[in-house]
Amino acid sequence: MRSMSRQALLAALSLSIFLPASADERDPSERLEADLRALFADEGTLSIGEVEEALIRDRVTAHDLHFAGPEGQQLWLDRYVVSGDYDRPDEVRIEGIRLETPGREQSRLVAETLLLDTPSRAVLPLHEETWPAEVTVDGLTVEALSAEFDAQASGQGAGKGRGRIAVERLQAAGVNRDALDALEVSGVKGKAAGDDEFGSGTFSLAFARVEGLRGLEGAEEERELDRLEVRDLSLDFDRLVASLSSLEADGDMTDGEGGFRLEALELDLARMIALAPEAERTRLRMLSNVLTDGSGRLRLDADSSGRWESGEDASRLLGELTLTADEAFGWALDADLPVRLPEGVAPADYLARMDSLEGVTLLGGRIDATLTDLGLFGRLPTIMAASQGVSEAAFLEQARTQAQGFGMMLGPEIEALFSGLVAMMAGEASELAIALTLPAESELEALSADPLALPERLEMRVESR
């Protein structure tokens, strides 16, 4: 796929040379033809049917372009249109794009139109992996894009893959070599056949948008994203059958807050189990029965928000999280943590990356969590007792004894926690509330490195309801 995409950009979206710094007295039609021919001079042969200038508007058009590459690749462009001042165009419009790449990684790309809004040049170096810093595009729109690929197996035994993807519309704004202000796609449908992580299947996506994507030139883990939105995603593969109604994520902490919201992530466990290897089905079916009460469909909803308040000597981090597995369990978390960040570190920068806890000092605070039974814990005794070949009463008694044993080793708070879980399985409670008061003047990295020591260093209250 990466190779196919690079070849597609090389031919279908490339077309550039460096423009002279001094004024060019040639007609725009002469300049466009010369620039196009110069671009492909060292890479193959290019034929152009006609180049003409509009009589009324500042517009020059090259018709019926055909490029033949040295390795058999073929590119057809119906029209290449430059509007406005040739040295600083209002837009560049490419119509009727068709690309075919033969060989081991066969591919075919078709696009109805590619529109470049206010590009810094009439012919852009999109075939280059690294653009000159001065090359920019205010906006980019692709209509009716489709791509087909067929990667054959290599001699090293790598699996082959075939597939197709179609995109109704793709738009990008603020494009340069290191960042995108915004990228939006709609009407995505595709299918793939291969031996990758999920196997073969189909997918669709109604809409997706990213904003504030930065760090494209650097390492992938260092890239930053201000906002992500996804709507109506569907996956139907050999090893993953799922759908998602919506996902919204806010990673821009400069305004003091961020978070994410996940709505109706549904996993079709029954179909995934039927497609799984036979040796794994019994274990997976037991897990599915526990989570879904036999329906085979698991729905997850989540909502998380975080914010920070900056003070002279300390910052305050506040966060909330709710997670619901329909007909299984609910989990709610509320945190209020005063902290002292390393000197010179802004809270927004720290929260945006969160790659290390080094130098962060906890000044106390609290974390409140609530676990709610929505059916999961009531089903556990029956399934666990059957797997162990004992009665439900015997299983519950054994669980109570184990909870007491944990208490002897780790303290009464841990005993209260496990005893609360047993009470939920026995139907004696439906909620388990945990309140933590955290130690002041503690290094967060040290606390996270030794979680077993936490019961001795913090105050913990457990209540079954």
pLDDT at 453: 62
> Is 272 in a helix, a strand, or coil?
helix
Least confident among 117-131, 197-211, 378-392: 117-131
Q: Read off the pLDDT of residues 188-218 as tens digits, 9 standing for 90 and up.
A: 999 998 777 788 999 999 999 999 998 888 8
pLDDT at 21: 36
Q: Could you give the CA distance from residue 345 to residue 315 in angstroms, rounded to a whole number?
A: 11
CB 368 within 8 A of CB 434: yes
pLDDT at 18 over 50: no
pLDDT at 224: 85
* Residue 2's pLDDT band (cuts 50, 70, 90): very low
pLDDT at 343: 77
Token representation of residue 465: 């309801």
Q: Give the mean model confidence (pLDDT) for residues 129-145.
A: 83
Percent pLDDT > 70 in the chain is 86
Q: Give the mean model confidence (pLDDT) for residues 90-98.
A: 95
Least confident among 241-245, 305-309, 323-327, 388-392: 305-309
pLDDT at 79: 96
pLDDT at 12 over 60: no
pLDDT at 127: 55
Q: Could you give the CA distance from residue 260 to residue 251 in angstroms, rounded to a whole number?
A: 8
- Calculated CA dihedral for residues 385, 390, 392, 394, nearest 10 degrees: -120
* Residue 308's pLDDT band (cuts 50, 70, 90): confident
Q: How far is CA 185 from CA 92, 180, 182, 233, 301, in A?
A: 20, 14, 10, 12, 24
Q: Give the mean model confidence (pLDDT) for residues 375-404.
A: 93
pLDDT at 454 over 80: no
pLDDT at 162 over 90: no
- Rg (C-alpha) for the chain, rounded Å, is 30
Token representation of residue 137: 């595009």
Q: Share the mean pLDDT of the chain.
A: 85
Nearest of 376, 396, 399, 368 to residue 462 by alpha carbon: 368
Least confident among 217-221, 336-340, 402-406: 217-221
* 230 residue type, one letter: V
Of 13 and 92, the one with more pLDDT: 92
Q: For the chain, how far is it from start to end, CA to CA, in angstroms?
A: 54
pLDDT at 455: 63
CB 321 within 8 A of CB 306: no
Q: Of 15-29, 114-128, 148-162, 320-334, which one has max mean pLDDT?
A: 320-334
Of 184 and 18, the one with more pLDDT: 184
pLDDT at 1: 41
Q: Could you give the CA distance from residue 65 to residue 85 in angstroms, rounded to a whole number?
A: 22
CB 66 within 8 A of CB 79: no
Q: Could you give the CA distance from residue 402 to residue 261 in angstroms, rounded to a whole number?
A: 37
Of 353 and 244, the one with more pLDDT: 244
Q: Give the mean model confidence (pLDDT) for residues 61-73.
A: 90
* Residue 356's pLDDT band (cuts 50, 70, 90): low
pLDDT at 38: 82
* Residue 322's pLDDT band (cuts 50, 70, 90): very high
Q: How far is CA 199 from CA 159, 160, 226, in A?
A: 11, 11, 32
Q: Give the mean model confidence (pLDDT) for residues 390-408.
A: 94
pLDDT at 24 over 80: no
pLDDT at 164: 94
pLDDT at 40: 77
pLDDT at 131: 67
pTM of structure: 0.83
* Residue 295's pLDDT band (cuts 50, 70, 90): very high
* Residue 458's pLDDT band (cuts 50, 70, 90): confident
Per-residue b or e along 121-142, where b marks 16 or more CB atoms closer than 10 Å to that residue's CB? bbbbbbbeeebeeebbbebbbb
* Residue 253's pLDDT band (cuts 50, 70, 90): confident
pLDDT at 354 over 70: no
Cα 137 → chain centroid: 24
pLDDT at 17: 31
